[in-house]
Chain A
Amino acid sequence: MTIDAEVQALSRVPLFQGLEPSKLRLLAFISDRMEFQDGEHLCHQGDDGDSAFVVLSGEVAVFVDENEVAKVGQYAIIGEIAILCDVPRTATLQSVGTTHILAISKDDFLKLIAEFPKVSLEIMRVLALRLEKTTRELAQARPAST
């Protein structure tokens, strides 16, 4: 798999959707491509998060308090909050079968943002949309619960 395939994977990640292809390429280039064997952990719940993972191929199981809560597959991004702010990992990630992952490190991602303010604008927009959506959902959910 070459960098072009990774760029394609990244372009499907909602957080990076608005980015120009050239920036995506740079992001892909500075990220680490990792291979995980069956059962190998990507990260542990409670650890300091230092990178986000984009699944390039294979499947990753998500465990919260040792209970499997979900399985995610190709093009999923996991732990992306970790590259924006310091929060401990909220789940343990385990590879199911052999998986290929693109690991985006926080430091490098922040450097990229510092380098290209446009990138951060795009990210901000995505985050704002998410916030708006969450707020709306919360507002809708509230009257129902009372």
Chain B
Amino acid sequence: MEKSLFQFIWKNSARYQVAILLVTILSYPVSYILLDLPKTITNEAIQGSNFPVELFGMQLGQIQYLAVLCILFLVLVVVSNCIKLYLNVYKGRLGERMLRQLRFELFQRVLRFRLPHFKKVSSGEIIPMITAEVEDVGGFVGEAFALPAYQGGMLVVQVGFIFMQDPLLGLAAISLYPVQGYIIPKLQQKVVRLSRQRVKNVRVIADKVGESISGISEIHSNDTSAWHSADLSDRLYRNFRIRFDIYNRKYFIKFVNNFMNQLTPFFFYFIGGYLVIKGQLSIGALIAVIAAYKDLAGPWKELLAYYQMTADVSVKYQTVVENFDPPDLYDKQRLLDDESLVLTGSLTLDKLGLSGVGTGQEVHNVSLNVEPGKPLAVSGVDGSGRAELLQMAAGLLSPTSGSVTINNTNFESMPEATLGRQIAYVGGHLHVWTGTIRDNLFYGLRHRPQEKVEYEGSDLRKRQRQLKEAAMTLNPYFDLKARWEDYELADAGSMQQLEDKALELCKVAGFSRDLYLLGVETVINPNETEELNGGLMPKLVEARKALREKIQNDTKLQNLVEFWDPEKFNMSANLAQNLFFASPKEHFMTIEHVPTDPQISAFLKETGFDVLLADIGLKIAKTMVELFADVSADSDLLNRYSFISREDLPEFARIVNDQKGEQRRKRLKDVDRARLIALALKLIPAKHRLGVLDDDMREKILAARKQFMETVGKDNERFEFFDPDTYLTTLSIEDNLVFGHARLDRRDARQKIQQVLQELVRERDLIAPIRRAAFDYQVGIAGAKLSSHQRRLICLVRALLKNAHIYVLDETANSVSATDKTLREDLRKLMSDKILMFGVSNESVAEEFSTTLHLENGRVIER
């Protein structure tokens, strides 16, 4: 990678830089004429006398002449500003392109880092480098060559003019430039050094913040927040100090520069005045020179600013780039090659060694051979080198001595297209990607786009533009919208078959039950999986009806659920659900947002419900304030039972107080009204039993419910109504099936319903479709919504699905439990023609395998 900023800019944008330069030079005569024209207008058109004048062969009177010059002036204003606009956009665009290219190059380099390198760099440091730190490069690129050329040119012209007037004055004008040229870089050097420190310090801050977030539970469990606060505060102070130093120097440079610039006129007045008095220089020439010198200050200032910016951006560029150039970077081709060899035969580890990494991670002189169909168990405690050996066998880690070969081909010479597709590795540290379970299961099949998306019309133009930009910035052409899953790798012909296959493998891995449980919680996304779930939704609606019948006809289950019924008030649901009888399609829409939503507040106003709800809210607030007023703040009675939080209670107490008494109430403020309405909407009559709803009110709510549906319209973008005959895409499968609320006053109602639900789902053969629906389950940030066991199983199924030749499983299904034992047997069966290396810490588990290898301290121990 280019070590210096200018190398990088010139290498990647020389053509564009020249273009910018040419346009800049082109603009010069235009702006010159534009500056000169006003003088002509005043001197010749307004104050002139020799009319008519001849212009391009035409005789023009004074007024006509004035008009022509003014129109010319107008045209030039337009032209010069257009050039400026064009130039600015051009520079901005070039800057953004270069920035994109730089950032992509940096990210690609991260992908090329060898595994051990990540022990030395942290994501907290790398992220700001790729995002924030290089940001300034973008703004600089467009100016890199044009600015010094343009302003430098201006400077030379002005200095030349002064020299032409009088060489001595010329010398005086530039007399201090050498001094400035000497002092300023000296000062700037120090600034550069400080900038470097600052960048590094900010990086440390980013890293510390990142580390605090990932270690947050440790901070809380050890009460070390004070220590971390102090640590970070110290860094922030250091940042302040560096910044302050930089400011001091930066403005001192400005000071020196300004001072010197104004020192020069001193010479002009002194020497020039002397010359004028002696009669060696005309007074007119002296004034002209002083005026010209004034014009010198502009370019000079710009050049200085440019110089400072260059120094600043350069140092940023260098401090970033030096981190992306480790000597052992993987070859680029290893990443880019798309040719995947099909590996066959046995795997040979020859005198494999790994050293210089850390104690407990070393491997010494291990040689072995694994044949397909003859699984090998590698046993060894944590720190025996087992994990490292297996990672080397999986092609993830490069050995420091010896080699890993298959069919005499060394892993080191294979591209990732082969290693990543022919080898499956599930190790101690695994990663589940944020997204759906589907994304994660099929992750191992997403090597390259598998089809070309056919675009038409404006989409085609958009795509072409995207491709053009990619070409200009050396970015890849891959289409993210295309299908990436390679069905063939999993021996499947379609997404449907692939899912079948995945379900089968989930069963082998023992993930089926979890899938069902996740499935009922899944909110089906109709847009993404229409063809796959199209048949499911009507079936679920049927099941919903059957479930309702079942619950209603069974004396034991009766009254466990209060179903959504458009004609009935649901005592177990809150007022919001009862009133609107819909669920919002926007995720951010919580009850707090409801009263301020324009559409809803208009509806409430129209129906008079704003007043009714505020009244209910006030009654609730009154009761809550009464009940909980003298409950101490640290009692959790308040948080558990009051639906006003402790923080909000005083606020509601104030509202209640304001509205007390018979005399004219204080006008309710809109904010307070919204609060009261939100409070009322949260009321669940069966739970809170406050007696604020009478039959009349309930009737009103039912009437308003109909009105709301009519106002908003059944098919609208924002709300989905609780219609017993349609599947709701905003609710989970379980909520759709139950289609109501478990009664709060019936003991264990929810558990009982879930049990009935499961029976019904089984009867109706919906278990498999629901498991399939679980593929759309959102797993949360890095799988946070899954248990660690579930995450491991997902990674295992991911590995199984990609049908690799070599399987390296470490710390997976390696306990002595019965389920793990069966899973191991199944895995061995499944891999009867594949190479399997199985890492275990428990030796008794290893004994299940026909061949075993025991490691201690990185060495093979013979038994």
Contact assessment for A34 and B745 in the assembled complex, using a CB-CB cutoff below 8 Å = yes
Contacts of B630 in A (CB 8 A): 116
The yes or no answer to B559 lying at the interface (CB within 8 A) is yes
Contact assessment for B631 and A30 in the assembled complex, using a CB-CB cutoff below 8 Å = no
The yes or no answer to A146 lying at the interface (CB within 8 A) is no
With contacts A30-B637, A115-B632, A115-B637 taken as known, whether A37 is within 8 angstroms of B555 at the C-beta atoms is yes
Q: Which of B636, B690, B743, B746 contacts A111, CB < 8 Å? A: B636
Residues of A bordering B, CB below 8 Å: 1-4, 6, 22, 25-26, 29-30, 32-37, 40, 108, 111-112, 114-116
- Whole-angstrom CA separation of A33 from B691 in the bound complex: 14
Contacts of A2 in B (CB 8 A): 689-691
With contacts A111-B636, A111-B637, A112-B637 taken as known, whether A34 is within 8 angstroms of B689 at the C-beta atoms is no
Contact assessment for A4 and B691 in the assembled complex, using a CB-CB cutoff below 8 Å = yes
Contact assessment for B689 and A25 in the assembled complex, using a CB-CB cutoff below 8 Å = no
The yes or no answer to B627 lying at the interface (CB within 8 A) is yes
Contact assessment for A30 and B745 in the assembled complex, using a CB-CB cutoff below 8 Å = no
**Can you name the residue of chain B whose Cβ is closest to the Cβ of A108?**
B637
Given contacts A3-B689, A3-B691, A29-B641, 12 further A-B contacts (CB under 8 A): A2-B690, A4-B691, A29-B627, A29-B689, A35-B745, A35-B746, A108-B637, A108-B640, A108-B641, A111-B635, A115-B632, A115-B637
The yes or no answer to B747 lying at the interface (CB within 8 A) is yes
**Can you name the residue of chain A whose Cβ is closest to the Cβ of B692?**
A2
With contacts A26-B627, A29-B627, A115-B631 taken as known, whether A6 is within 8 angstroms of B637 at the C-beta atoms is no
Contacts of A30 in B (CB 8 A): 637, 640-641
- Whole-angstrom CA separation of A25 from B635 in the bound complex: 17
The yes or no answer to B401 lying at the interface (CB within 8 A) is no
- Whole-angstrom CA separation of A32 from B688 in the bound complex: 9
The yes or no answer to B229 lying at the interface (CB within 8 A) is no
- Whole-angstrom CA separation of A1 from B571 in the bound complex: 12
How near does chain B come to A123, taking the closest CB pair, in angstroms?
A: 17
10 closest A-B pairs by CB: A2-B691, A30-B641, A35-B745, A3-B689, A26-B627, A34-B745, A33-B745, A115-B635, A111-B637, A2-B689
Contacts of A108 in B (CB 8 A): 637, 640-641
- Whole-angstrom CA separation of A111 from B689 in the bound complex: 21
Contacts of B688 in A (CB 8 A): 29
- Whole-angstrom CA separation of A6 from B641 in the bound complex: 16
With contacts A6-B689, A22-B626, A29-B641 taken as known, whether A34 is within 8 angstroms of B636 at the C-beta atoms is no
Contact assessment for B691 and A32 in the assembled complex, using a CB-CB cutoff below 8 Å = no
Q: Mark B613-629, 1 if CB is under 8 A from A, else 0.
A: 00000000000001110
Contact assessment for B746 and A34 in the assembled complex, using a CB-CB cutoff below 8 Å = yes
**Can you name the residue of chain A whose Cβ is closest to the Cβ of B690?**
A3
Contacts of B262 in A (CB 8 A): none
**Can you name the residue of chain B whose Cβ is closest to the Cβ of A40?**
B747
Q: How many A-B residue pairs have CB under 8 A?
A: 55
The yes or no answer to B359 lying at the interface (CB within 8 A) is no
**Can you name the residue of chain B whose Cβ is closest to the Cβ of A98?**
B559
> What secondary structure prevails in chain A residues at the interface with B?
helix
Pull 20 A–B residue pairs with CB atoms less than 8 Å apart, ordered by A.
Answer: A2-B689, A2-B690, A3-B691, A22-B626, A26-B631, A30-B640, A32-B744, A32-B745, A33-B686, A34-B745, A34-B746, A35-B745, A35-B746, A37-B555, A37-B558, A40-B747, A108-B641, A111-B637, A115-B635, A116-B630
Q: Which of B559, B689, B691 contacts A35, CB < 8 Å? A: B559
**Can you name the residue of chain B whose Cβ is closest to the Cβ of A41?**
B747
Number of interface residues of B (CB under 8 A): 25
How near does chain B come to A140, taking the closest CB pair, in angstroms?
A: 42
Residues of B bordering A, CB below 8 Å: 555-556, 558-559, 626-628, 630-632, 635-637, 640-641, 686, 688-691, 743-747
Contacts of B636 in A (CB 8 A): 111
> What secondary structure prevails in chain B residues at the interface with A?
loop
How near does chain B come to A91, taking the closest CB pair, in angstroms?
A: 18
- Whole-angstrom CA separation of A3 from B690 in the bound complex: 6
With contacts A2-B690, A37-B559 taken as known, whether A25 is within 8 angstroms of B627 at the C-beta atoms is yes
Contacts of A34 in B (CB 8 A): 745-747
Name the residue among B558, B626, B689, B745 with the largest chain A CB count within 10 angstroms.
B689
Contacts of A35 in B (CB 8 A): 559, 743, 745-746
Contacts of B627 in A (CB 8 A): 22, 25-26, 29
How near does chain A come to B289, taking the closest CB pair, in angstroms?
A: 90
How near does chain A come to B620, taking the closest CB pair, in angstroms?
A: 11
**Can you name the residue of chain B whose Cβ is closest to the Cβ of A111?**
B637
How near does chain A come to B554, taking the closest CB pair, in angstroms?
A: 11
How near does chain B come to A78, taking the closest CB pair, in angstroms?
A: 15
How near does chain A come to B643, taking the closest CB pair, in angstroms?
A: 11
Contacts of A6 in B (CB 8 A): 689
How near does chain B come to A60, taking the closest CB pair, in angstroms?
A: 14
How near does chain A come to B407, taking the closest CB pair, in angstroms?
A: 67
- Whole-angstrom CA separation of A4 from B686 in the bound complex: 14
How near does chain B come to A116, taking the closest CB pair, in angstroms?
A: 8
How near does chain B come to A117, taking the closest CB pair, in angstroms?
A: 12
- Whole-angstrom CA separation of A114 from B555 in the bound complex: 42
Contacts of A37 in B (CB 8 A): 555-556, 558-559
Contact assessment for A1 and B689 in the assembled complex, using a CB-CB cutoff below 8 Å = yes
Contacts of B746 in A (CB 8 A): 34-35
- Whole-angstrom CA separation of A1 from B690 in the bound complex: 9
**Can you name the residue of chain B whose Cβ is closest to the Cβ of A112?**
B637
Contacts of A111 in B (CB 8 A): 635-637
How near does chain B come to A127, taking the closest CB pair, in angstroms?
A: 23
- Whole-angstrom CA separation of A33 from B688 in the bound complex: 10
**Can you name the residue of chain A whose Cβ is closest to the Cβ of B629?**
A22
Contacts of A33 in B (CB 8 A): 686, 689, 745
How near does chain B come to A26, taking the closest CB pair, in angstroms?
A: 5
**Can you name the residue of chain A whose Cβ is closest to the Cβ of B558?**
A37
- Whole-angstrom CA separation of A2 from B558 in the bound complex: 23
**Can you name the residue of chain B whose Cβ is closest to the Cβ of A33?**
B745
How near does chain A come to B750, taking the closest CB pair, in angstroms?
A: 14
Contacts of B689 in A (CB 8 A): 1-3, 6, 29, 33
- Whole-angstrom CA separation of A6 from B626 in the bound complex: 17
Contacts of A32 in B (CB 8 A): 744-745
Contacts of B686 in A (CB 8 A): 33
**Can you name the residue of chain A whose Cβ is closest to the Cβ of B637?**
A111
Contacts of A22 in B (CB 8 A): 626-627
Contacts of A115 in B (CB 8 A): 631-632, 635, 637
Name the residue among B555, B688, B747 with the largest chain A CB count within 10 angstroms.
B747
- Whole-angstrom CA separation of A29 from B642 in the bound complex: 9
**Can you name the residue of chain B whose Cβ is closest to the Cβ of A103?**
B747
- Whole-angstrom CA separation of A37 from B558 in the bound complex: 9
Contacts of A40 in B (CB 8 A): 747
Name the residue among B628, B637, B640, B686 with the largest chain A CB count within 10 angstroms.
B637
How near does chain B come to A83, taking the closest CB pair, in angstroms?
A: 15
- Whole-angstrom CA separation of A29 from B556 in the bound complex: 28
**Can you name the residue of chain A whose Cβ is closest to the Cβ of B624?**
A29
Contacts of B635 in A (CB 8 A): 111, 114-115
**Can you name the residue of chain A whose Cβ is closest to the Cβ of B641?**
A30
**Can you name the residue of chain B whose Cβ is closest to the Cβ of A3?**
B689
How near does chain B come to A43, taking the closest CB pair, in angstroms?
A: 10
- Whole-angstrom CA separation of A72 from B184 in the bound complex: 98
How near does chain A come to B404, taking the closest CB pair, in angstroms?
A: 60
How near does chain A come to B752, taking the closest CB pair, in angstroms?
A: 11
How near does chain A come to B16, taking the closest CB pair, in angstroms?
A: 73
